[in-house]
Amino acid sequence: MHYDLSVFPPAPQLEIRLIAPPHGTAYGPASAFVDTGADATIVPMEIIRLLRAGTVTLKTLRGYTGGRRSVRTYLVDVEIGPHMMPAQRCDQRSSSLVHASRSSLR
């Protein structure tokens, strides 16, 4: 892990790989920001498309302003060094972002 000094305040980053089950298409290594207070992980939708991650469900999200919209949910494995977080559910947040639910390293 290292700190990215090009942003303010400086933020910790680490190297990850994303893998789409069950076919194993992988993306990375790639740098990821670490936000210890976050409830979610953000991944560019372009990466989800490259991985060919399969849609799991369709659900409704409500934003902080109260607006609602339907989004697709995807599954990706997140690898951090020797640790694997399998089958993380990723929700489409916009045309370019998805959100992965936080879980413990396994």
> From residue 45, how far is each of 52, 73, 97 by CA, in Å?
11, 11, 5
- pLDDT for position 58: 81
Question: Is 0.75 surpassed by the pTM of this model?
Answer: no
- pLDDT for position 15: 92
Per-residue pLDDT tens over the stretch 16-59: 999 998 889 999 999 888 877 765 566 778 888 899 988 888 87
- pLDDT for position 102: 45
* Among the listed residues 77, 87, 15, 13, the one whose alpha carbon sits nearest the alpha carbon of residue 56: 87
Phi, psi (deg, nearest 5) at residue 97: -130, 150
Per-residue pLDDT tens over the stretch 58-100: 877 666 677 887 877 788 888 999 999 888 777 666 555 555 5
Contacts of 61 (CB under 8 A, 6+ apart): 68, 69, 70, 71, 91, 93
Checking if the pLDDT of 5 tops 70, the result is yes
Residue pair 69/58 in contact by the 8 Å Cβ criterion: no
